[in-house]
Chain A
Amino acid sequence: MNDNSWQPHCPVGVSAQTERITLAHGEGGRAMRQLIHDRIVPRLRNPNFSDANDAAALPALQGPLAFTTDSFVVSPLFFPGGDIGTLAVYGTVNDLVVAGARPRWLSLSFILEEGLPLDVFDRVVESVAAAARRANVEIVTGDTKVVPRGAADGLFITTSGIGELISPIPAGPRSLLAGDELIVSGPIGCHGVAILACRENLGFEPAPTSDCAPLVEVADALRAAAIPVRAMRDATRGGVAAVLHEWAGQCELTMRIDETALPVSSDVRGICELLGMDPLHVANEGTMVIAVPAGAGESGLAALRQVSLSKEAALIGAVQPRGIAPVTIRRSLGVEQPLDEPHGAPLPRIC
């Protein structure tokens, strides 16, 4: 088990005196009020925060809005490069970003398992606060529930987010045309490999690190350079392959990528080789796929490389008339093959 993780049935590293979440923390009385006012509010306070009311009153905005929600159940709670708190902020922020919005406000709901050490909870709330500052969003409302021991895995978080759509809004994958170019904003597969190595205690040195990060600056860089983005999508569960399949399904064209063009860090590549996994199927949390019109790929890359998060962006392929499969990959020896849609979580091979 990783030293930083916490699991309810494994008391390693947690002394008997540790203060813990109890069912009382979720039952609306003094314990709950103290939890919120002593441990959450001071860390998250901002002008729009609804510390007394059930709903936040938000100022009017000029244009159309984007609204999204996501739940986070990652195990272990802490991993190299992030934790469930950073993930809960950046996940929802990135969903807004790829819709063409500037994220503004988030809600934050916890489901806590009875017995969770309070210092673990504090660390997660600190992470949420730091991530919100980095992504320039405000947490404006929230909720806390406690479930009996065994009914959850430490803690779960749900965040919902409101963002301000910024013109020009990408028309989305249905607008893709043959010839459009496909970009990834950075090395792929980092998050999934980091989680797997940490969860299963695979003992890689140095431990692979998640790419968990807000994509706000990356999208801003594209807008600032007036890159005509047709579609953007953060390549989370199912990895880049899942995004390409979804796009191919929506535009009924083929997404054709080149294996030799894929940015894969040497640690992710090595671990995937060892476990028999394809980095294209592995989750990311701070990497997106971008489609731009034919000829705009190079200027898109130049814009992306101005931002440290996307300095390793790469042109990985192009949209083509529907060919042998919805998504194809050109292997290093030149053969073009269908690229599978991921099925469930990748299972490591035997030998």
Chain B
Amino acid sequence: MKYVDEYRDPHLARELLESIRRRSTRPWVLMEVCGGQTHSLLRNGIDAELEGSVELIHGPGCPVCVTPAEAIDLAQDLALRPEILLTSFGDMLRVPGTRGSLLDIRTRGGNVRTVYSPLDAVELARREPARQVVFFAVGFETTTPATALAVLQADAYRLENFSLLVAHVRVQPAMEAIMQVGDCRVQAFLAAGHVCTVLGYDSYVEFVRRHRVPVVVTGFEPVDLLTGILECVDQLESATFDVVNCYARSVRQEGNSSAQEIVDRVFEPADRPWRGLGTIPAGGLRLRPEWSRFDAERRYGLAAMPSSGCAAECRSGDVLAGRIRPTECSSFGTRCTPDAPLGAPMVSSEGACAAYFRYRRADCGPHTAPRPAGAATG
């Protein structure tokens, strides 16, 4: 398959691994921002191959994982109203709120449907004018343009039965928040390739200058990831700090200006609670006042989303901030599994805990049993 196979070439990947090992004089600490990158790193065993040369801390770039439990509760409240059909991406349906997931709500009579695009939700609203269709809008800048387009379409169709429960988040404010943490160990970032496809990477120039950390725009296949890691190590070894694009087949410096324009017309930055990380200034988006008629929170008089905690024994906040590895959580693989998750990172296909459960739990002992809390992990 073109654009995939050549970036999974095992020979090229091994050469890159060797180059990284040779170039690295000490174990540099890198954060891959996006959950898709985390899964690819673990799936291909790259993190283990680089042990001693590079330590990879898994960033908070999983939109499902950082959506506050209370936002899911709000979505559930809406889904239980008889006039409402709540729609969202499939990934979102299994994530627990404080009272179970949206799938649980469906078994109790809630109206919940998976869609593949916010535009499908608009189409549903057109086809079922007697129903109120609410789209639970989650995701980073990769999914925001489609949500913005849905609003513009709903407006063009003059739909009165379509609205959004907005939980969109923004990557760069989260990277800022991570750098503000006192014990932050991150020395370089692998920036999320798909987000940069939309936004470009000019906005990182100032970030790099201020924090003196390399930011390397990186894709998702093994060769992409290893190329990005090698670029980070090269910069760190030569004490340079630059924004470099290692995902040029998808990302242009200026990004996708028509997508940016649509988002900017519909949304504006807003402070937003992140699960496990607290409220991040300008960490999310809200509808601009002129589009507020599509705001489900306003339409249904919902209380604003509060700052979020999670199940007391869930340490997803520490995982999302890169303070611990998923396997260091005492609930990992025992009281928290993808079948019965305590926190969102164990649910989503992008979540760091799910990635460790899927690819690395064997390192924790026979089958699914992890080592006891506090023990060293693979």
Contacts and interface: CB of A to CB of B under 8 A. Distances in A.
Contacts of A347: 90-91, 93-94, 114, 349
Given A348-B114, A348-B116, A351-B63, A276 B48 contact: no
A338 B362 CA distance: 7
Given A200-B116, A270-B1, A350 B63 contact: yes
Given A331-B43, A351-B143, A338 B359 contact: yes
A298 to B, nearest CB: 25
B332 to A, nearest CB: 14
A335 B91 CA distance: 27
B194 interface: yes
B142 interface: yes
Interface residues of B, number: 42
Given A270-B1, A351-B63, A325 B367 contact: yes
A53 interface: no
Interface centre among B43, B48, B349, B361 (most CB of A within 10 A): B349
Nearest to A12: B127
B89 interface: yes
A266 interface: yes
B153 to A, nearest CB: 17
A324 B44 contact: no
A343 to B, nearest CB: 5
Contact of B91 (A325, A328, A334, A348): A348
B44 A350 contact: no
B247 to A, nearest CB: 15
A269 interface: yes
A333 B139 contact: no
A158 to B, nearest CB: 24
Given A276-B349, A347-B93, A350-B143, A337 B1 contact: no
B140 interface: yes
B362 A324 contact: yes
Interface centre among A269, A273, A348, A349 (most CB of B within 10 A): A349
Contacts of A350: 63-64, 89, 91-92, 138-139, 143, 348, 350
Contacts of A294: none
Interface in A180-207: 200, 202
Given A333-B13, A333-B222, A351-B142, A340 B358 contact: yes
Interface residues of A, number: 25
B12 to A, nearest CB: 11
The binding surface of chain A is classed by DSSP as loop
A343 B338 contact: yes
Interface string B60-92: 000110000000000000000000000001111
Interface string B323-353: 0000000000000001100000000111000
Contacts of A351: 36, 63, 139-140, 142-143, 194, 350
Interface in B87-123: 89-94, 114, 116
A338 B361 contact: yes
B8 A337 contact: no
A332 interface: yes
Contacts of B372: none
Given A276-B349, A333-B222, A349 B44 contact: no
B281 interface: no
A286 interface: no
A347 to B, nearest CB: 3
B52 interface: no
B133 to A, nearest CB: 16
A297 interface: no
B367 A326 contact: yes
A317 to B, nearest CB: 17
Nearest to A348: B90
Given A347-B114, A349-B90, A350-B63, 17 more contacts: A202-B116, A266-B1, A331-B43, A331-B44, A333-B10, A333-B14, A333-B45, A337-B362, A338-B361, A338-B362, A347-B93, A348-B116, A349-B348, A350-B348, A351-B36, A351-B140, A351-B142
Interface of B: 1, 4, 8, 10, 13-14, 36, 43-46, 48-49, 63-64, 89-94, 114, 116, 138-140, 142-143, 194, 222, 338-339, 348-350, 358-362, 366-367
19 contacts: A273-B1, A324-B362, A326-B367, A331-B43, A332-B10, A333-B13, A335-B48, A335-B49, A337-B358, A343-B338, A343-B339, A347-B91, A347-B93, A347-B94, A347-B349, A350-B89, A350-B91, A350-B138, A350-B139
- Of all A-B residue pairs in the complex, the 3 with the closest CB atoms, nearest first, are A335-B45, A347-B90, A324-B362
